[in-house]
């Protein structure tokens, strides 16, 4: 199973907000620059994450995106569920969710394997939080960038 760029970029961007934001709103242009992701594509991803209650946004010169919950509460599985629409490796695991029917569903032995694989993936991704990524970044020596500190007010 491969995760789409929506999931990979979504996780990186939410991490970026937690790590570099310092609790403040982070502008999308800064996230896009640091993570090397198109700002337009990030906007599409952020709309889903905002609708799911993972991010909040504020307009204006001091606006930007911030986390709707603490980094300890946001699991990678939450982000992937929103961006991918689920973690099932094949559509037949939950045909009611996918809207696709399978004629072999009653006799398919491998469906149970796919279901188990999806459950293990979900368990794994839900065991990692954004806070865990922030701690790993600190261990790796990733430099924090606080853009708010550079603003000058008169």
Q: Which residues pair with 64 in a beta bridge?
A: 58
CB 31 within 8 A of CB 65: yes
Predicted confidence (pLDDT) per residue in 67-102, tens digit = 999 999 999 999 999 999 888 888 777 766 666 777
Mean pLDDT of the chain: 89
Specify burial of residue 45 (Cβ count, 10 A radius: 0-12, 13-18, 19+): buried
So where are the chain's domains?
5-86+129-149
- What's the CA gap between 125 and 53, in Å, rounded? 18
Phi/psi-derived region of residue 151, left when phi > 0, alpha when psi is between -120 and 50, beta in every other case: beta
Lowest mean pLDDT, pick from 20-34, 80-94, 128-142: 80-94
Q: Is residue 146 left, alpha or beta, with left meaning phi > 0 and alpha meaning psi from -120 to 50?
A: beta
Tell me which residue of 93, 52, 45 sits closest to 73, measured CA to CA: 52
Over the stretch 56-70, which tens digit does the pLDDT of each residue have? 999 887 789 999 999
CATH of domain 5-86+129-149: 1.10.10.10
């Amino acid at each position: 199973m491969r995760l789409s760029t929506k999931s990979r970029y979504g996780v990186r961007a939410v991490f970026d907000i937690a790590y570099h934001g310092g609790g403040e709103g982070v502008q999308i242009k800064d996230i896009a620059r640091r993570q090397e992701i198109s700002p337009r594509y990030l906007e599409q991803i952020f709309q889903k994450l905002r609708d799911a209650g993972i991010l909040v946004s504020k307009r204006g010169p001091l606006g930007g995106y911030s986390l709707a919950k603490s980094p300890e509460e946001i699991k990678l599985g939450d982000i992937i569920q929103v961006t991918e629409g689920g973690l099932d490796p094949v559509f037949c695991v939950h045909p009611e969710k996918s809207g696709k029917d399978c004629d072999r569903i009653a006799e398919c032995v491998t469906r149970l394997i796919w279901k188990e694989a999806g459950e293990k993936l979900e368990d794994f991704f839900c065991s990692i939080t954004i806070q865990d990524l922030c701690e790993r970044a600190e261990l790796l020596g990733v430099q924090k960038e606080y853009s708010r500190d550079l603003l000058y007010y008169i």
